[in-house]
Amino acid sequence: MKYALVTGGSRGIGKAISIHLAQIGYVVVINYQSNEKAANETLQTIQEQGGQAELLPFDVSNSESVQNALQKWQDAHPEEYIEVLVNNAGIRKDNLLVWMEPDDFETVLRTNLFSFYHVTRPLLTPMIRHKQGRIINIASLSGITGLPGQCNYAAAKGGMIAATKALAKEVAKKRITVNAIAPGFIKTDMVESLDEAELKKTIPMNRFGTAEEVAALVAFLASDEAAYITGECISINGGLYT
Where along the sequence are the contacts to ligand NDP (CB under 6 A)?
7-8, 10-14, 31-35, 38, 59-61, 88-91, 111, 138, 140, 183, 185-186, 188-191
* Active-site residue identified among 26, 153, 228, 241: 153
Rounded distance, CA 190 to CA 208, Å? 12
| Residue number, 89 or 155, with CB nearest to ligand NDP | 89
* Least Cβ distance, residue 148 to ligand NDP (angstroms): 16
Rounded distance, CA 198 to CA 201, Å? 6
Closest CA to 5 of 48, 57, 65, 68: 57
171 vs 11, 125, 193, CA distance in Å?
Answer: 30, 10, 39
* Least Cβ distance, residue 131 to ligand NDP (angstroms): 28
Q: Does 153 qualify as catalytic in the annotation? A: yes
* Least Cβ distance, residue 88 to ligand NDP (angstroms): 5
| Residue number, 32 or 73, with CB nearest to ligand NDP | 32
User: What does the DSSP 8-state code read for residue 26?
Assistant: P
| Residue number, 33 or 179, with CB nearest to ligand NDP | 33
115-130 and 63-76 helices, crossing angle to 10°: 30
Active site (catalytic) residues: 153
